[in-house]
Structure 1
């Protein structure tokens, strides 16, 4: 994720969603894991099945679409579009566009 987007998303999580610093860090934690699983597990298989240009274009389209959706997060978004603390002691979840962006970055990290 680009540093500018990370900084703006951290501001959104802390200022708008009311997350503490620890919860904001926990919201970022699954991102590198998603990138690692996609880049180490699936990108090589996709490139052997398809042309590398097609795989890279799909990664760019997924990243661009996810960042466009992430930029349109409203203040009062629903729980599947924006991060909300789940009931109980679980760590916060990531918004769906953020996960989509991490998948696109994983495909591009071939």
Structure 2
């Protein structure tokens, strides 16, 4: 797994190339943690992440450490398997607030 980071103003886009699992989770957490304080929005681009296990849920839903500035976190370009995992997680735990991760997706599509 590798990733690329692009910062444009106050938005950072981290594009993951490869699986998201417990082996890659520390690297991805570190990538987010080292973003400059001026970044207020983090977009995880998962177009090239074809597989994600529960580690991906930790990455996307864990609370930010208080020493970091608050960031709005969103996800884009989900492959079918990671999307199914997120939908299943939301079904089992409705308070995950998928609409926070997918702000441009109509709620009805997430409820299907």
TM range (shorter): under 0.3
Higher relative contact order (CA 8 A, sep 6+): 1
Instruction: Give 1 or 2: higher strand fraction.
Output: 2
TM-score between both structures, scaled by the size of structure 2: 0.24
TM-score by length of 1: 0.25
